[in-house]
Amino acid sequence: MKLTPDQFTAAIDAPAMLATTRAWSAINTGTANLVGLAKQAALLADAFSALPGEIELVDPAPVTVVAPDGREVEKPHGRHLVVRVRPQAERRVLLTGHMDTVFPVDHPFQHQRWVDDETLVGPGLADMKGGIAVILHALLALEGTRAGQAIGYDVMINSDEETGSLSSSALIASLAQGKYAALTYEPSALPDGTLAHARGGSGNYSVTVTGRSAHAGRNPYEGRNAIVAAADLAVRLKAMGHADLSVNPARIDGGSANNVVPDHAVLRFNIRPKSTEAAEQFRIDLTTLLEELATLHEVSTHLHGGITRPPKPVDERAQKLFDLVKECGAELGQQIGWQPSGGVCDGNNIAACGIPVVDTMGVRGGAIHSPDEFMIVPSLAERAALSALVLARLASGEPL
């Protein structure tokens, strides 16, 4: 049967959504907590089994990181949930979320508390256990409609979004292929429900600097100080920032005893390009800078990392998807607006595949990545109804 906007709202089980979200929030799923992630993944597989599709827990792709001593070592990750429904449908969409949070297993923020009748504080409630509940209940409502039977979809819930989706980026790209549109369930950009529109990109890098050790008193001139070279590099990197690019030197590992010229350092930094042009120019400038630094300080350098989230401009098709979300919101009595964001998410990766995406379809909330993270509870049902209506419109042939 075809449901009206009001019937979509009535089809959402708000108490069940809240109970599920709270239960998921009670599980610590910091990106490095593989035990917690495995428990969460099993619960998600059980919950999404209510949909008429196939469920798979996909192993993470290998990822290496640079240890403080400069060695590249493999970093383990949890498995990713994939649900496939009607893969042969003519029109298919992608819905994505993440089960990991920024709070490690030993973080003090592990419990929930009510601020008022509508505001609940808790780890991952907004970012994004609530968003996963929105995906599930929107699809359950959609499956009760005639339109729902005409559309296919994949759901991907990864375990490493908070650290850049390095072990799931290839999976995201694979699932995005051939999709008509995508929705991602990060929390709203503002507590009033404002969506994130265009986004800049993000890249994480490590530069290992190798110098030459020497006695700080007897023959310091024979040494080549890696810490000094890394510090010089940090200052020069910071100076490369401009209106379309921010550079954040974040940490230097290395050093030795006070009476030894240090021969080793690792500099870690992040960049935020607002455009693909800015990202490409930084790549060129960084190559030149590393060559100059090696010559000036008589050290060697090794670069690890790169752009993990390409910039996400909003093209004509993506804007039509934003407009559709706004129209559906109006039909449900929800005022939907948008603004650019300096943050990044899996929506960046999806957009880079040429797929129109709105990536803040999750709950209303705020203070994410802090011990004050909160979710506005009525937004669970609001956003589920919104997504169900958007998906029904897409299934009915809404052009993008």
CA proximity to 282, closest of 272, 292, 295: 272
Q: What are phi and psi of 263, to 5 degrees?
A: -105, 10
Angle of CA points 58, 61, 67, to nearest 5°: 140
- Provide the pLDDT for residue 269: 98
Which residue is it, tokens 């419109």?
A: 393
Spacing of C-alpha 239 from chain mean position: 27
- Provide the pLDDT for residue 188: 97
Q: Are 29 and 124 in contact (CB under 8 A)?
A: yes
Spacing of C-alpha 96 from chain mean position: 10
- Provide the pLDDT for residue 1: 47
Averaged in consecutive runs of 10 residues, what is the pLDDT profile of the chain (400 residues)?
A: 76 97 98 98 98 97 96 97 97 98 98 98 98 98 91 98 98 98 97 97 98 98 98 98 98 96 98 96 98 98 97 97 97 97 97 98 98 98 98 91
- Provide the pLDDT for residue 5: 84
In residues, how long is the chain?
400
Q: What is the DSSP string of 152-216?
A: EEEEEEES-GGGT-TTTHHHHHHHHTT-SEEEEBPPPSSTT-PEEEEE--EEEEEEEEE-B-EET
Helical segments of the chain, H only: 5-11, 14-25, 34-48, 130-142, 169-176, 226-239, 276-297, 316-331, 346-351, 379-395
What angle in degrees, to the nearest 10, is found between the helix axes of 276-297 and 226-239?
150
What angle in degrees, to the nearest 10, is found between the helix axes of 34-48 and 130-142?
20
Separation of alpha carbons 252 and 324, rounded Å: 46
Both structure tokens of 231: 């510090």
Q: Are 129 and 365 in contact (CB under 8 A)?
A: no
Separation of alpha carbons 32 and 228, rounded Å: 32
- Provide the pLDDT for residue 6: 83
- Provide the pLDDT for residue 2: 53
> In the chain, what are the domains?
5-63+74-199+312-395 (3.40.630.10), 202-308 (3.30.70.360)
- Provide the pLDDT for residue 7: 85
Separation of alpha carbons 361 and 348, rounded Å: 14
Separation of alpha carbons 341 and 300, rounded Å: 37
